[in-house]
Structure 1
Amino acid sequence: MGLPALALGGFGIGLTEFVIAGLLPQVARSLTVSTATAGWLISGYALTVAVGAIAVTAATAGLARKPVLVGLLALFVAGNLLSALAPTYGVMLLGRVVAALCHGSFFGIGSLVARRLVPPERASRAVASMFAGLTVANVLGVPFGALVGERWGWRATFWAITVIGAVALIGIAVLVPGWAGTGGDGADAGAGAAAGTRGGRTDLRAQARAFRSAQVWLTLTATALGYGGMFGAFSYLAYTFTRVAGFSTTDVSWLLVVYGTGLVVGNAAGGRGADRDRDATLLVSLAGLTATLAVFGVLASSRGASVVLVFLLGAFGFATVPGMITRVTDAAGGVPLAASANVSASNVGNALGAWAGGLVISAGFGYAAPLFVGAGIVTAGVGVMGVAAWMAVGGVGGGEGKGQKGEGRWERRAGCER
């Protein structure tokens, strides 16, 4: 029962990230700020996630994981409560920053706890189950926020998210077993010396040493490039739909739901595939994402093709998530900092991809151009992932990057003790 509680936490955090997009006009009017200023409620959140994922995980390195997860959700509840009550824009922004601090660490540490709840051969599927909450939030977040905000005001949306966070906190506290939040007697036992884990507590210097592995850096780079290509294109999809394909602005919402449905399907399929052959699944997913972006760029003026391709964009894009997280944590010997660094890498990729997409639009290449830029970025990701897989087969590059069947040595040594 621990996985549903983790998924609910992911759902709440995902809602907080995505819901603001549909509420921005209301919030700007209510707090008497410009739309551009209100936009910092989105970008400020993303920047905090990128930095906080590593900083918070490092700061809690000496603590057992289950109490840390409970504490992170308490921070999440506090941030959203602050947003719901915010009398001024400054307080609202502070609430967003406080809530964002838990984002990366929750998914990083939570993914390690999730994989301890299942046998090693189901590790990627367990991570996918936790991230299912995030993908569903992507589908429901904006329409949920818009509906609740329209009916009861934008503050009601943040009250609802606060309640969801509180329920998830209680669920994790009650349903996640104590042994899943420690590292001394299970998945981490065999890696204690390498990863510096003692009874679920990890020495920060030992965690930092895990980043000497070339496999860790190659996986983080492939993550950033994969996300950068997908979200660099996604950031401008509304313009692609309306200015190139000829959809109306009212069509954009359901098209984004199609994209979000692709995320849900891709996340589940990627978890299953990674448990069978992780590196092959990652290479196929990244190659599929490259092809989808390139074809989308060519066929962007076709409405029918756009519907199919935006689904595939989400599916191939998120099929990489479970495998990338289990791969980087295996390569790092199971340290939480590596899993959180993966979340940071994805956010860095998002920012760089959106920046590159904006450049080509500003240069006058049109609103389909970010799709081709995205294809180029992901192509580089395929190359990096190919090098990582080749080095892993040859046992080159340090760490435990082999992962051909989705199992790292740090889990296999433990014998999946329960």
Structure 2
Amino acid sequence: MKYYNFMFKKKIAYIGSLSLIGMITTEFGVIGILPQIASYYHINISTAGLLLSAYAITVAIAGPFMTMFTSGINRKTLMAVTMLIFLLTGIVSSFAPPFWLLMVVRILPAFLHPVLVSNAVAAATSSADKKVAHQMMAIVMAGIGIATITTVPFATYIAGLFDNWQLSFMVQASISLVVLVAIIILLPSMPIKEKKSYGSQLKILTKPTFLVSAFFSFLMIGGLFSTYSYFADYLSKVNHMNPKTIGLMLLLFGSTGVLGNFLAGKLLTKDITKTTAAFLIGLLMICIPIYYSGTMSFSTVLLIAVWGFLQTPCFLTAQAYMIETAPEAPEFANSLAISFGNLGISFGTAIGGLFINNYGVQSTPWVMFAFCTLALVMMLLKKLIEKHVCRKS
């Protein structure tokens, strides 16, 4: 019986991972084509970057409320509806509408983005012991890394190969269709047995440790995207790579990221705080060689591989670090983790764009360094609060 339950959870976790592949392809697929979009619409790269930051800010603001309001709805239904919206908006985007409309259809699926992640994680981890729960969560979150090595670079590569950025959105829509069919056919119905009250969920916002971990997530994810949002532009202008090579570098980045995610999933079952700190410190250290990287060489390729290995697991570690502080409301805590992470994406992308406009794209690794240093400070502050609480009790 125990083995059957484990395999059942594993099946749900893999479908959840597939759902995240579709979601991440839509959210991050635009990164590799920002230069082409900027050229097509005759705007600068930081304005084109709004396609990423506007999506992220919508997730950040709407996420927790959407998760609470939909908390009583069948999880399969929610996941299917979300992927349908991703599919439709991808189709509209592929027709190269006016920039304002492109922005609108980018924002629409963002409203249900955290609902998809929260339900995928909750479905795979509910009624599981701590060790199994972290393993299932790692499987679901692996969808982020898998997308970065397969669908995201593939969409970028196709757009570069045919010199047509709209094809990237066509690839995104196709993947959303595959995921939607998989959810409908393979995912069992998952009605909610007991809906938590809004008050019991909101109560976690009064916990100092949770709030500090939320700011940690905001700062760390913001640091990642102050540079990664302009990955294609950085490799083009600093490392002098062409669009096809950039697509391959995205593939390499994601490939090593999957390995990093797998390792992080294993380590989280032993110690969440130490695992989170280890990957964060690794990112701090790699900012310097990224800044000093020059024309493409073997060392540049190796650097991108290490960067991907360290960065991709941070989505998993950030969520685990936050959810650990609010076991009484895991779904709502998960949605807040997504919201603060996406708020970090938006803010980091905006700050990165600001520095690009003033100091050039090569300045962004120092922005990442500053963000990650502040995130490390938040980890230390959380530790101090925990010690203070222990003394009082």
Same fold (TM over 0.5): yes
Task: Select the residue among 151, 164, 168 that pairs with 2:179.
Answer: 168
Residue in structure 1 matched with residue 8 of structure 2 by the alignment: none
1:290 aligns with 2:301: no
Alignment correspondent of 2:73: 63
1:128-154 C-alpha deviation (Å, 9 max, x unpaired): 211222222223344422455566976
2:131 to 116, 121, 129: 121
Q: Equivalences for 1:189-204 in 2 at 5 Å?
A: 199-204=193-198
Are positions 1:230 and 2:240 aligned together?
no
User: Is the CA contact (8 Å cut-off) linking 1:215 and 1:397 kept in structure 2?
Assistant: no
- Residue 347 of structure 1 deviates from its aligned partner by 1.9
1:69-124 CA deviation, whole Å, 9 max, x = no partner?
33323333343344457866555444322222222221133222222375420322
Seen in structure 2, the aligned counterparts of structure 1 residues 396 and 98 have a Cα distance that, compared at 3 Å, is farther
Q: Is the 8 A contact 1:46 1:100 kept in 2?
A: yes
**Counterpart secondary structure, 2:337:** helix
Structure-2 change in CA distance of 1:94 and 1:282 (3 Å): same
TM-score (norm 1): 0.77
Change (3 A) 1:108 1:371: same
Match of 2:7 in 1: none
Are the equivalent residues in 1 in contact too, given 2:32–2:247 (CA < 8 A)? no
Moved more, 131-140 or 298-307: 298-307
TM-score (norm 2): 0.81
Asked if residue 105 in structure 1 is aligned to residue 115 in structure 2, the reply is: yes
C-alpha contact 1:54 1:344 (8 A) present in aligned 2: yes
Unaligned segments of structure 2, at least 5 residues: 1-10
After superposition, the C-alpha distances for 1:353-382 in whole angstroms (9 at most, x for unaligned) are: 233334444444x64432123112211211
**Partner Cα distance (2:351, 2:302) in 1:** 25
Q: Which amino acid aligns with 1:131?
A: M
Query: Which amino acid in 2 is paired with 1:234?
Result: Y
1:204-228 deviation digits (Å, cap 9, x = unpaired): 2221111111121111111111112
| 2:354 aligned with 1:380 | no
Question: Per chain length, whose mean CA-contact separation is higher, i.e. which structure has more relative contact order (CA < 8 Å, sep 6+)?
Answer: 2
- Following superposition, the deviation at residue 290 of structure 1 comes to 0.9
Q: Given that residues 274 and 322 in structure 1 are in contact (C-alpha distance below 8 angstroms), is that contact kept between their aligned partners in structure 2?
A: no
Equivalent of 1:15 in 13, 25, 33: 25
The answer (yes or no) to whether the contact 1:62–1:203 under 8 Å persists in 2 is no
Which residue of 129, 140, 146 maps to 1:136?
146
Q: Does 2:307 match 1:307?
A: no
Q: Tell whether 2:311 aligns with 1:317.
A: yes
Alpha-carbon spacing, 1:277–1:2, altered in 2? closer, same or farther (3 Å):
same
Deviations 1:169-215 (A, max 9, x none): 34334544456x64xxxxxxxxxxxxxxxx34222222111111112
Tell me how far apart the structure 1 counterparts of residues 271 and 79 of structure 2 sit (CA, whole Å): 30
1:280 matched residue in structure 2: 274
- 1:270 is aligned to 2:264: yes
Is 2:339 the counterpart of 1:329? no
Among 208, 221, 224, which residue is 2:215 paired with? 221
CA separation of 1:273/1:158 partners in 2, compared to 1, >3 Å: closer, same or farther? Answer: same
Shift in CA distance, 396/310, structure 1 to aligned 2, threshold 3 Å: farther
Query: In 2 relative to 1, CA 391–39 (structure 1 residues): closer, same or farther, beyond 3 Å?
Result: closer
Count, aligned residues: 378
Per the TM alignment, residue 280 of structure 1 is displaced from its structure 2 partner at its CA by 0.9
**1:43-89 CA distances to partner (integer Å, 9 max, x unpaired)?**
43333233332232132134344433333233333433444578665
- Equivalent positions of 1:346-361 (< 5 A) are 346-361=341-356
Does structure 2 retain, via aligned residues, the 8 Å contact 1:283–1:386? no
Report the AA paired with residue 352 of structure 1: F
CA separation of 1:55 and 1:284: change in aligned 2, threshold 3 A: same
* Aligned equivalent of 1:409: none
- The yes-or-no answer on 1:344 pairing with 2:354 is no
Q: In structure 2, the residue corresponding to 1:276 is in which secondary structure?
A: coil
2:54·2:346 contact (CA, 8 Å) conserved in 1? no
Task: Report whether the alignment pairs 1:79 with 2:74.
Answer: no
